[in-house]
Amino acid sequence: MKKILTCMLLVLLCSVAARGQEQERVEPIPFGDMDRWIDRQIKESAIIGGETKHVYAIGPTMTIESNEAYENMGGSPWASSNILARVAGITKTNTSVFPEKRGDGYCARLDTRMESVKALGFINITVLAAGSVFLGEMHEPITGTKNPMRKLDTGIPFTQKPKALRFDYKIRMSERENRIRATGFSRIKDVEGKDYPEVNLFLQKRWEDKDGNIYAKRVATMVVRFDRTTADWQNDATFTLLYGDITGHPDYDPNMMRLQVQERYAVNSKGESVPIQEVGWGTAGDEPTHLQLQFTSSHGGAYIGSPGNSFWVDNVEFVY
């Protein structure tokens, strides 16, 4: 009898352990393996040199030789800070996100760098460009530096409730103690504080009123800033999503996680780009309607950062 009870107990423990293992389910984000890229070959205006530049997009592997505005292709939900701009009739590009070989595939390298435009003495613009990939779309062509967030359609429809985000990453930090701000039309200034690569994720429950305004409640939050160079790849790094009102949670940081931490835009049902107005915290029981996810080499927003920061990202997936 004792042997039988012991065997039954072992079977029960194995069954419980198996159920525990079955509880974790991993789902890759489409194109999150960073193995497929579109090589957009864009010829810049002759007045600034007329070179053909490579402007990369995460999507089905192909080459596009065209100066046409880009829209997400092949079911890829990813956009980036790589853009085609037409300012004062001049075609210019920026590339701060690059495919980089890793093993048998590729990863994404996000760089913070300076981008300059000079033409016959009457145009002399230098801007700071951070490397960023995000779920959503970019409205091309870019026609100026004013209100850059309006050029982004931030987030994608999403109704699931993952418990964590998992990805591989590598960091190289700039040695600058302070950041710089370079908008292209004013003097380059120092901005106090170290520059950190960041990943931010917000699940939102959105709705639109009759006037086309978009409102949202925050259902889940995850923000991580990286403060040191890594010696090598950090594989399967897993970061937990916090659901509901997290203002009392020990990991809550209002500088990174508060409501409306940064103004972001989305396209409403009228086809207009409008601010997403976060008006409150959702509950852990709320079902989200949209997912915002961004990886960036600099955390301070448009035109602020430290040249030399680099953030490598690969194998982005959700854990359930």
Among the ranges given (18-32, 55-69, 80-94, 150-164), the one the predictor scored with the smallest mean pLDDT? 18-32
Which residue type does 145 have?
A: T
Identify whether 269 is part of a domain: yes
Identify whether 20 is part of a domain: no
Identify whether 8 is part of a domain: no
What is the 3 state secondary structure string of 80-115? ECCEEEEECCEEEEECCEEEEEECCEEEEEEECEEE
Mean pLDDT of 150-170: 97
Query: Rounded distance, CA 257 to CA 260, Å?
Result: 9
pLDDT higher than 80, residue 20: no
Helix (H, G, I), strand (E, B) or coil at 215: strand
Confidence band (pLDDT; 50, 70, 90) for 189? very high
Identify whether 17 is part of a domain: no
CB atoms within 10 A of CB 293: 25
CB atoms within 10 A of CB 72: 20
Domain range spanning residue 251? Answer: 26-319
Contact indicator for 308, 179 with CB cutoff of 8 Å: no
Identify whether 137 is part of a domain: yes
Full-model pTM: 0.91
pLDDT higher than 80, residue 6: no
**Long-range CB pairs of 62-67, under 8 A, 24+ apart, other chains included:** 62/38, 63/38, 63/39, 64/38, 64/39, 64/40, 65/41, 66/40, 66/41, 66/42, 67/42, 67/43, 67/91
pLDDT value at position 117?
Answer: 78
Q: Residue 195 is encoded by which pair of tokens? A: 């520059």
pLDDT value at position 61?
Answer: 98
Q: How far is CA 255 from the centre of its chain?
A: 18
CATH number for the domain including 36? 2.60.120
Helix (H, G, I), strand (E, B) or coil at 3: helix
pLDDT, tens digit, 9 for 90 and up, residues 224-254: 999 999 999 999 999 999 999 999 999 999 9
pLDDT higher than 60, residue 310: yes
As for how many domains the chain has, the answer is 1
Pairing of strands 179-181, 310-319: unpaired
pLDDT value at position 88?
Answer: 81
The secondary element (H helix, E strand) that includes residue 255 is helix 254-257
Identify whether 16 is part of a domain: no
Tokens 């090589």 label which residue?
A: 39
pLDDT higher than 70, residue 18: no
Contact indicator for 215, 259 with CB cutoff of 8 Å: no
In whole numbers, what is the pLDDT of the chain averaged over residues? 92
Among the ranges given (3-7, 30-34, 95-99), the one the predictor scored with the smallest mean pLDDT? 3-7
Q: Which of 153, 156, 159, 56 shows the shortest CA–CA distance to 109?
A: 56
Q: How far is CA 79 from CA 57, 70, 106, 181, in A?
A: 7, 10, 17, 23
pLDDT value at position 219?
Answer: 98
Identify whether 11 is part of a domain: no
Among the ranges given (12-16, 26-30, 216-220, 282-286), the one the predictor scored with the smallest mean pLDDT? 12-16
pLDDT higher than 60, residue 107: yes
Identify whether 228 is part of a domain: yes
Among the ranges given (58-67, 109-118, 155-164, 211-220), the one the predictor scored with the smallest mean pLDDT? 109-118
pLDDT value at position 7?
Answer: 47
Query: Rounded distance, CA 292 to CA 256, Å?
Result: 14
